[in-house]
Structure 1
Amino acid sequence: MTTNNGRDFYQEFEVFSSKSNGDQVQHQFSLLAPNEEIALVMAQENFMRRQPVADIWVVKRSNVRKMTQEEKESLHRLDNKEYRTTKGYGYLKKKWRHYEQNILDEKEILSWGGEEKQ
């Protein structure tokens, strides 16, 4: 095995963890290690000193696949679906305020009738 100042010896790993069973797994940090077993030990050492953890995942960075530019572009919607987002209803607050300002109160309604004839 040839080593170019250790660059070929170490591999990059991404570390994910969850704080308790059933929690989502979140990315924590990256580390360099010679293999998966050592990477897991290094990740455990890091977490056991700092915070409680229920599960740790160690993934070789080369095994993580990201989307290509072409795949990202395919995510854009071709049609207008703004009605699916809540920002499409932002006008309702203003409309409701206008409606509330025009509501008649009890005194105003009673003032219309004057005195009732008996």
Structure 2
Amino acid sequence: MNSKTAGFFQEYEVFSKRTAASPMQYQFSLLAPNEEMALILAQENFMRREPVADIWVMKQSAIKKMTPDERQSLPRLDNKDYRNTKGYGYLKKKWRKYEQEMLDEKEIFSWGGESKK
């Protein structure tokens, strides 16, 4: 890009949703002279690829990111790991193993009860 067009184009970030219920996801950056043209370019790009429910464009300069000093405030000051659940996914596996051990064929046939006629 030469120096004349450098000030004319601005960088935009593009976000999209596949369906109305899905979350917005970052897609790519593009250069455009204004927001309207950025949206048209983003739409043209997606129309060739896949259907989408919504497209957002925003100037890259409007995105605020944390400074290194601000990032230092992210870790918690006190230890509250007890609030973070690890989940109970292991219980399903444990229960399945318990059920299989309880009533397997060998155990059922070992009962050897006589059937009533």
TM > 0.5 fold call: yes
| 1:65 alignment counterpart | 64
Higher alpha-carbon Rg: 1
Q: Structure 1 segments of 4 or more deviating over 3 A?
A: none
| 1:82 alignment counterpart | 81
Q: 2:47 is matched by which residue type in structure 1? A: M
Aligned residues with identical type, % of pairs: 59
Measured after TM superposition, the shift of residue 19 of structure 1 is: 0.6
| 2:13 alignment counterpart | 14
When normalised by structure 2's length, the TM-score is: 0.68
Extract unaligned runs of 5+ from structure 2: 99-117
Over the aligned positions, Cα root-mean-square deviation in angstroms equals 2.3
Which secondary structure state, in structure 2, belongs to the residue aligned with residue 32 of structure 1?
strand
Measured after TM superposition, the shift of residue 48 of structure 1 is: 0.7
- Aligned pairs, number: 90
| 2:114 alignment counterpart | none
Q: 1:28 is matched by which residue type in structure 2? A: Q
